[in-house]
Every structure is written in C-alpha cells, then in structure tokens.
C-alpha cells in the first residue's frame, strides 16, 4: 500500500505540473544526448581518427637489424610483415636507395611501389602522372627541385649511370613534397634493383598502421617476431602527435558535455524549487499528520529519479542519432553503438537530477508545519 501511495503521489505530481516536468525532462534529455553521443564517439573515435591521421604519413619504419652497411631486408619477407600488421595496416612501401649519376650529376635513386606510396603519402603533389604498373622499368618520377636544377619537363628522358652502365628513363611525373623527395629520382622497385644489381633486396619499409602509441609498440614487436632480421622503429613524432590530438578531442567533448549537464542541473533545480514552493502547505500538512522527513525526501528524490530516467532514455536514443550524424559528416562512416553507453547515460542523467535536487529538498525538510499551516 505504501508503494502504491508513493507511486500515486508521483503520477499526480507529474500530471499536475506536466509543463514544468516536461521542461526539466527536455533539459535532462539534451544533456544526456550529448553524454551518449560524445561517449559513443570517444569509444569509437580512435580508429576513425587513426585512419584520418594516417594520411599524414607512415608511423613505423622497418630497417635491417644488422648494422652492416650491406645488410638488407629480403623481399620475400614482405608477406610476413603484411600478415603481422593485419587489421591495422593502411599501407606499406618498400624502398631501395642508391647514389647514381643522372645526366652527369650526382643524384639519389629511390626504388619503391607507387601504388603503396599513394596510400601512405597521399599529400604528394604530382605534376604529370603516377607510374601505375609495378613492372614498368622505363619510367621515372623526379623531384621538383631536381627537375628545376636539371631543366627537366614531363616527357623528357633522363639517363641514369651506375658503375659504368647507362639506363634511359622517361620522366612521367614531377613530385613536390617540400621534403627530401624533391631532390630524388623515383622508379619502380624492380627497376632500381636491376640497376644496382640487388634483386629482391630492400633497404627499408615504411609502414602506415592505425594505432595508438602503445599499440604501435605491439605492432612493431609483432613485425620483429615475424621477421627476426629486421628492426621496427616507431616514428614517435607522428604517433605521439596522434595521441595528443585524440586526447584533446576527447577532453573538448567532455567539457562541452559537462557544461550542458550543468545547464540541465540548473533547470532541474529550478523545477524542483518551484514544486516545493507551490506545495509548501501540502508538505506542512504531511508533516503535521506524522510524515517523517525521510518520507518527504523520498517523494521529491523519487520525482528527480523519474525525470532522470525518462530524460536519460530519450537522451540516449537522441545521442545515437547525433553520433551517427557526426560520424557521417566528419568521418564519412557511421560509429557503432556501444552497449556500455546506455547504462552510463542513465546513471549520469539520474545523478545530475539527484544532485540538482539536494538544495530544494533541503528546503522542503526545513518547512515547519505550524508556521506553514497558519499561512505565515
């Protein structure tokens, strides 16, 4: 009977003051929506941001473990490296370097895979075109500074000389990166290996993998286990920058959610205070006929809990829609809902309502029946 009476009071309170209750629920819903949305995004943002930041270059460099200048990585080990980074790999580009003469001038010749370069270094600005076929041994891409120095244009022929042998290469593209690439000559990996007579030998591999700083360590360790003759070095400037950016985004979202929750709490506090002011005589009468302070507290905190639950549930589903919109507009993909977000959102919503109700409830507890019922 007591439970039935308690529920009856709550329902009647909601019906009588449905306008004010609706405003409080709406305020809680807005705060809960941001909590649900930002929490969902924070839990799924790592991979999304990682994919976005991978466009800024490789974050792992694989080199021979031996310090011998003649040491190399075997090309047949590339599938092992690919398998050891499965699930994280964006792309990887093998490199072979050597110094040659190009039109009688010293230059660095770089052999690589251009389809992988386009994955790990999409910022490369190419005038002309890429070398599409890995078997194309007659084409080259030259750095912008080198091309300017040698007065080279698209379609020109550049003659590479190495240990007395000469190789003509067609200039298919001119690359500008603002880095050392601007002074280099790029050819297909197989072309460089033939010129320098080092078939199936690689000097280094640049790997772009989606990871945090801690998981990058794990990926590097897996690579070294898969190919013991190699050493995987993390490019810490890139990885550390990713970590810092991700944390800043999460902190920003957290601060916005806190501010909105604070506004929601003020709205709930205002609603509860108004409710207590309007019901002072009712509270005084309840106390006069024997109601304890604990009963008065339970009634108003019960209202706060109901507001929190209703606002939290509505806010959760609104937050899912909001997180989907943000995911599509920012990352061009949806962010999957996380099961832990629902109870977390409800707990936060109810907690905010309870905290916001403490001062109004304290006022209700301090009401003196004799004074209130005399109309003073």
Instruction: Render pLDDT for 312-328 as a digit per residue (tens, 0 to 9).
Output: 999 999 988 888 887 77
Q: How far apart are CA 235 and CA 239, in angstroms?
A: 6
Q: How far apart are CA 272 and CA 30, in angstroms?
A: 18
Provide the pLDDT confidence category of residue 169 given band limits of 50, 70 and 90.
Answer: very high
As a whole number, mean pLDDT of residues 131-138 equals: 92
In the DSSP assignment, the letter for residue 182 is G
Q: How far apart are CA 74 and CA 287, in angstroms?
A: 87
In the DSSP assignment, the letter for residue 104 is T
As a whole number, mean pLDDT of residues 283-309 equals: 77
Provide the pLDDT confidence category of residue 1 given band limits of 50, 70 and 90.
Answer: very low
Burial class of 239 by CB neighbour count within 10 A (0 to 12, 13 to 18, 19+)? buried
Burial 57-93 (b: 16+ CB within 10 A, else e): bbbbbbbbeeeeeeebbebebbeebeebbeebbbbbb
Lowest mean pLDDT among 195-199, 203-207, 324-328: 324-328
Higher-pLDDT residue of 313 and 267 is 313
Whole-structure pTM value: 0.60
The owner of tokens 């698209």 is 154
**Residue 53 pLDDT more than 80?**
no
**Residue 354 pLDDT more than 70?**
yes
As a whole number, mean pLDDT of residues 131-137 equals: 91
Q: With left for phi above 0 and alpha for psi between -120 and 50, is residue 292 left, alpha or beta?
A: beta
Percent of the chain with pLDDT over 90: 30
Q: How far apart are CA 178 and CA 355, in angstroms?
A: 56
Encoded tokens for 209: 């993998």
Do the bridges between strand 165-176 and strand 139-143 make them parallel or antiparallel, or are there none, so unpaired?
parallel
Q: Which of 79-93, 171-185, 323-337 has the highest mean pLDDT?
A: 171-185
Percent of the chain with pLDDT over 70: 80
């Amino acid at each position: 009977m007591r439970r039935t009476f308690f529920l009856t009071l709550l329902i009647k309170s909601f019906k009588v003051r449905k306008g004010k209750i609706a405003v409080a629920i709406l305020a809680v819903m807005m705060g809960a929506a941001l909590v649900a949305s930002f929490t969902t995004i924070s839990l799924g943002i790592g991979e999304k941001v990682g994919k976005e930041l991978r466009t800024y270059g490789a974050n792992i460099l694989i080199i021979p473990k031996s310090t011998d200048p003649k040491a190399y990585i075997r090309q047949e080990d590339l599938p092992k490296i690919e398998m050891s980074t499965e699930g994280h790999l964006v792309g990887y580009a093998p490199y072979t370097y050597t110094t040659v003469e190009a039109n009688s001038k010293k230059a660095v010749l770089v052999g690589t895979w251009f389809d992988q370069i386009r994955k790990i270094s999409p910022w490369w600005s190419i005038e002309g075109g890429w070398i599409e076929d890995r078997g194309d041994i007659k084409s080259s891409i030259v750095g912008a500074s080198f091309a300017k120095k040698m007065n080279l244009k698209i379609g020109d022929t550049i003659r590479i000389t190495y240990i007395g042998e000469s190789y003509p290469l067609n200039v298919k593209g001119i690359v500008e990166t603002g880095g050392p690439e601007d002074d280099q000559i790029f050819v297909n990996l197989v072309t460089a290996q033939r010129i320098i007579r080092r078939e199936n030998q690689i000097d280094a591999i640049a790997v772009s993998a989606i990871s945090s700083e801690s998981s990058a360590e794990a990926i590097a360790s897996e690579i070294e286990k898969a190919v013991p003759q190699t050493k995987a070095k993390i490019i810490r400037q890139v990885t550390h920058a990713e970590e810092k950016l991700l944390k800043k985004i999460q902190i920003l979202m957290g601060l916005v959610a806190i501010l909105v929750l604070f506004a929601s709490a003020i709205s709930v506090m205002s609603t509860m205070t108004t409710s207590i002011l309007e019901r002072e005589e009712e509270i005084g009468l309840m106390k006069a006929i024997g109601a304890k302070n604990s009963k008065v507290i339970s009634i108003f905190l019960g209202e706060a809990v109901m507001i929190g639950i209703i606002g939290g549930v509505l806010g959760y589903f609104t937050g899912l829609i909001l997180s989907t919109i943000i995911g599509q507009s920012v990352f061009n993909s949806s962010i999957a809902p996380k099961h832990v977000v629902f109870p977390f959102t409800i707990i936060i919503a109810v907690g905010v309502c309870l905290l916001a109700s403490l001062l109004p409830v304290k006022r209700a507890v301090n009401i003196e029946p004799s004074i209130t019922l005399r109309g003073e």
